[in-house]
Structure 1
């Protein structure tokens, strides 16, 4: 959190948010009093239970305003200009008479019947034919929808294009569609100037390749058996085996040529095998192609299995959600159409469509795909649940606490989408270096086949040409361009399994090179659950009156300190007529004709309040009519795993740890001593924290990166400034997902040290693969120049090297 002890800058001073005035605090109870439930298709006591739970929920959250009903636009279409009441009528199964809107209360929800409105119970008693006729008349009376919205709603289902096809025709159709999609991706990458991601074979391609290579092996063996009896027959068999294996390679080369990619592994294999065939090495030319196909098939099988184990979080959100109103009427909507404070029903075996708070129901949720916690969490009343979690238990009723775009799963998907184009410098150098290296190898091979024969007459030119072709095989970059990106992909997948989501291999590499970590204090190193430790009164004000005055003044503030004060006050705060917030200092409020100041010592001094004592700790001072009235001391608890996490970071190479906070010196230093932090900077305003972060970035130790760790609520600027912005927990929003490089979906700091350990291991394995491939290829090149290595030995070594490096990269998934 950017500034737990400083006031948030999101709310300008002197402005009161709509719906947050004390006069609106009783709105939920007034709405509940108007509800009359009719007979519906649920159990008899279900509506009564819902209403009782909603009433208790409304009393638990008095500060939430009643939001105006607005239609959720569909992506890509203009907003439909439909009145709220008419939009609600489109979704209800029973017709309702058009009601006049009250201009003074536009926020009133249509789910609540107004005076004079027919009750749903009376409408549901209509016979079925009359109900259908009424619905048709009501639909005709509605204004026309926006064209794009109507097209989306009335779009017919697309027929299955493979219907009526045979198995072979269906396979050919899917293969053609897949090739078209791959061509489209290649063209888009070519226009953007980016490297094409490696795409492994599908299972159908693997089966077809296996059959093709098996047939080629049969013809090759027949040619070897008949070579002594008839050279002509053997040549024909060799030619058939060669054509079976070379035609797919030639097709790939031709396809790459049409997209402007002239040098790749297929060109090297094609040239070397064709040259060997022309030199009369018919069997060896086919062996080279067969071994290349076998190696590619095996490596793609490993790569495909890795892809499957790293499934993205896109299939964990249900397409439809059940929203119920306060009359117990259920309707189906998409998760994106769910609004804050809507009531959602979830049945056992379904995935939760939105982040929310449980109002009724008991069971368990499995949120492994989000948080990485393998053990299901129990669900009870007032528990928080996340969208995408799998629910098992009784019928669950929850209240939505966020829009779908601000849900935790939406943040994860946004991070994954943005991370697709962010490559580590090591991966980027391998991909671009291989593309630039192949033309150089081709030129060197040509020179090797021409220059040595001019100075060494003892070795025939045919031998030098063969060695040049062998070098083309040796320098095939398949192992390099597969194993290094696969290493980073495996690392990202392993992090996702732990509930840690990163923006591409760039974040993995930077996380592996951390040398400095900057922490926010409240909510990150501490629990963030502030509670009152003691209250200091004066002669005119006792402890109860001090707490009452502070709660009244702070009731409209969203700051954690204000929330803690208001929560500690058991009664309803007094109504205030004026409210002004000073970011990082406190608030000013007016009760009747009396002025209140509630905040830190800096606010009291700036306003000329005299007699303010200097109390150690997190202190909220209260001034009444310009005179000091008392103070409230709050305390927080250090997370039990914080010391272990900081120690783990230092053992992995972090040289410096820092705290940036707006809290006072005493609690900050106590937290630093308990956790093991090296440096503290306290009493910072929000804008001062960003400046201090910039200063710290200029003092990073050589050859390292810096990370900022916060909860992503009010520390957006710090997350953007750091090399690695780490947002902890699920309290962040869309802005925090855009600013952060790493999302950790729990508040446990041990995940931070886990993330660094996995990233360091991932980076080391990627380096191992790169060094191993380059070292072996250099050795093979030297042996080839000396005439020791043959072409089939070179391709066999390359195949084994590819399989070895791919398996080495895949073992990242087993890192603890």
Structure 2
């Protein structure tokens, strides 16, 4: 709407301005009146803003500079130039405003995930309500093509869900009964009934929107510099312009005051710093938006800027470089079949909710007859003892075998080993291992391509497993068997190895790594879109849960900073040259407006390049052939 009004003023005032060239007005007063009318139609809003700002004490801005320069031109009789300069300025402002709006729309489109309504089930009725009105435990209906309004669990139906608005991934995810639904995603091809697990204020979409809205509050060093620069620069050039208008005529009697006044007015128009003041924040805003499109949520431009100085990247292992899901990888027995061994072990572990127990039952994959299990006894730190079909079954670690004085296999095995004995006799072992994430090796290669000096892993896992993963992925160093406090201590040691300007990044799951995430220069959470702790604890959230996106974030940072530097050098360079030319009387008012508006528009168009995510997308490093290979089979 604002752009339309400005366009109408420009067209109307421009037509009136053109009429002064085609019609010869004999009356000088009528001629001046025509120019004044055209001037106020075109630039009345600029004059009004300048007056309001002066009354508020906010004198030195582009409105003030244009007001003083054009009124000065009227005062010395350059009517055509005064109106023409204001017309050119407003055309530039119109184009500039359109460019900024397009950029903001593009960024808003990336995060257009706020649901407008929720279909709430009330008895036999379905009522369309605001998502804020839905409570935890309520049942909602999500129809085909609708946005999922709140985080929920599917209780009826199955469908494919488009998660691209949150994760940047184009491949839909299948959901069935028991699947988690994340607000902001789109239901593609089925009707789902779901039970709400979080109120709207606590939902994934609400948290992400809040982060994006507040990201601009955390300014980068570049933005802070430009703000301070403009605060002192603008009054400085106004003082120089006054001196330029007054000093030469006073010092030299042969110098005309009018000539130096024109130079001073030209100098004022050239000096406007809006190219920097607008384009620099827009560059960072665009960088944050572009990263969001690729599934990387950066909480502020200060963090986006800092990523470019990354020298050391420190990883947690489980859930970060590995999937954090333990699965049975090997079943070994010389006295019974694999099927018998996994069945006995699953029965013995049936009443335990330990992740290892759950993975054993998942590997068995059949219904368990609870009547066949008796005298179950948990042995903390060792395992479990139970009677299955009347036979004593012991399932646990080597400590359990030692405690029961049972000889067991002692060879080196990569992974968690569950030893099994039946009736006091050793019958075999089962290996359970985490799996390395598909793109973990690519992530390390990409970081080295981005000139990261050192990649390190901190883990509480055993030395053999930790070093094996580090070697497999090509990490520079691995510290194992660490408690959370030990991780902070190791991080302090690593801080001493970076340069003063370099940054240390820690990548973790955002839950048990909170102390290290807080201590690092930049904390990156790999908790995925569903992790509240990850979203709250870190400075950057990888919404797709892919470690390769860390390099993507660094590339986005470097591209943004490159554009920012280009704009600073270009704007200051052009302005510096034209300021000198203006002071010498070589540059006229039209040149001055180009140095202001033209430079601003070019800088803004350059800033909009950061929205092109193609150059910062994941690199095409060849996929690691063993990307889903279990540690035990490496």
Normalising by structure 1, report the TM-score.
Answer: 0.66
1:717 Cα offset (Å):
2.4
1:272 Cα offset (Å):
1.4
Equivalent residues in 2 for 1:336-347, closer than 5 Å: 343-347=139-143
Count of equivalent residues: 596
Equivalent residues in 2 for 1:388-403, closer than 5 Å: 388-400=184-196
Distance 1:679 1:278, change over 3 A: same
**1:451 equivalent among 247, 271, 290:** 247
- Secondary structure of 2:161's aligned partner: strand
The answer as to 2:349 corresponding to 1:564 is no
Indicate the residue corresponding to 1:461 in structure 2: 257
Partners of 1:476 and 1:628 lie apart in 2 by 87
Indicate the residue corresponding to 1:476 in structure 2: 272
1:496 Cα offset (Å):
1.8
Range that drifts further, 455-464 or 289-298: 455-464
C-alpha offsets along residues 64-116 of structure 1, whole Å, 9 cap, x if unaligned? Answer: xxxxxxxxxxxxxxxxxxxxxxxxxxxxxxxxxxxxxxxxxxxxxxxxxxxxx
CA RMSD of aligned residues (A): 3.7
The answer as to 2:550 corresponding to 1:755 is no
C-alpha offsets along residues 322-341 of structure 1, whole Å, 9 cap, x if unaligned? Answer: 3478xx77666654565666
The answer as to 2:563 corresponding to 1:765 is yes
1:351 Cα offset (Å):
1.7
Distance 1:457 1:564, change over 3 A: farther
- Secondary structure of 1:522's aligned partner: coil
Indicate the residue corresponding to 1:409 in structure 2: 205
**1:617 equivalent among 409, 414, 422:** 414
Partners of 1:515 and 1:494 lie apart in 2 by 23
Indicate the residue corresponding to 1:501 in structure 2: 297
Indicate the residue corresponding to 2:59 in structure 1: 262
Contact 2:401 2:407 (C-alpha < 8 Å) held by counterparts = no
Partners of 1:628 and 1:772 lie apart in 2 by 80
Indicate the residue corresponding to 1:665 in structure 2: 463
Indicate the residue corresponding to 1:303 in structure 2: 100
Contact 2:417 2:430 (C-alpha < 8 Å) held by counterparts = yes
1:215 Cα offset (Å):
2.9
C-alpha offsets along residues 755-804 of structure 1, whole Å, 9 cap, x if unaligned? Answer: 22222111111111111001100001111122110112211232221111
Partners of 1:572 and 1:685 lie apart in 2 by 39
Equivalent residues in 2 for 1:192-207, closer than 5 Å: 204-207=1-4
Indicate the residue corresponding to 1:208 in structure 2: 5
Distance 1:459 1:590, change over 3 A: farther
- Secondary structure of 2:318's aligned partner: helix
Distance 1:342 1:447, change over 3 A: same
Partners of 1:261 and 1:599 lie apart in 2 by 74
Contact 1:609 1:628 (C-alpha < 8 Å) held by counterparts = no
- Secondary structure of 1:662's aligned partner: coil
Partners of 1:404 and 1:577 lie apart in 2 by 43
Distance 1:661 1:410, change over 3 A: farther
Distance 1:634 1:221, change over 3 A: same
Distance 1:658 1:687, change over 3 A: same
Indicate the residue corresponding to 1:719 in structure 2: 517
Distance 1:435 1:587, change over 3 A: farther
- Secondary structure of 1:707's aligned partner: strand
Partners of 2:271 and 2:361 lie apart in 1 by 70
1:701 Cα offset (Å):
3.5
Indicate the residue corresponding to 1:778 in structure 2: 576
Equivalent residues in 2 for 1:265-304, closer than 5 Å: 265-304=62-101
- Secondary structure of 2:328's aligned partner: strand
1:379 Cα offset (Å):
4.3
Distance 1:345 1:786, change over 3 A: same
Contact 1:445 1:468 (C-alpha < 8 Å) held by counterparts = yes
Partners of 1:799 and 1:241 lie apart in 2 by 20
Partners of 2:267 and 2:396 lie apart in 1 by 75
Equivalent residues in 2 for 1:722-733, closer than 5 Å: 722-730=520-528, 732-733=530-531
- Secondary structure of 2:148's aligned partner: coil
Distance 1:411 1:699, change over 3 A: farther
Distance 1:695 1:777, change over 3 A: same
1:285 Cα offset (Å):
1.4
Indicate the residue corresponding to 2:286 in structure 1: 490
1:712 Cα offset (Å):
2.6
Equivalent residues in 2 for 1:595-674, closer than 5 Å: 615-619=412-416, 633-674=431-472
- Secondary structure of 2:145's aligned partner: coil
Indicate the residue corresponding to 2:477 in structure 1: 679
Distance 1:531 1:623, change over 3 A: closer
1:754 Cα offset (Å):
2.2
C-alpha offsets along residues 222-247 of structure 1, whole Å, 9 cap, x if unaligned? Answer: 44456684433322222222333443
Partners of 2:58 and 2:149 lie apart in 1 by 44
Partners of 1:440 and 1:563 lie apart in 2 by 71
Distance 1:351 1:682, change over 3 A: same
Partners of 2:557 and 2:404 lie apart in 1 by 53
**1:518 equivalent among 314, 330, 344:** 314
Contact 1:226 1:233 (C-alpha < 8 Å) held by counterparts = no
Distance 1:297 1:747, change over 3 A: same
Equivalent residues in 2 for 1:689-708, closer than 5 Å: 689-708=487-506
1:702 Cα offset (Å):
4.1
Query: Structure 2 stretches of 5 or more lacking a match?
Result: 388-392, 615-634
Indicate the residue corresponding to 1:745 in structure 2: 543
Contact 2:498 2:504 (C-alpha < 8 Å) held by counterparts = yes
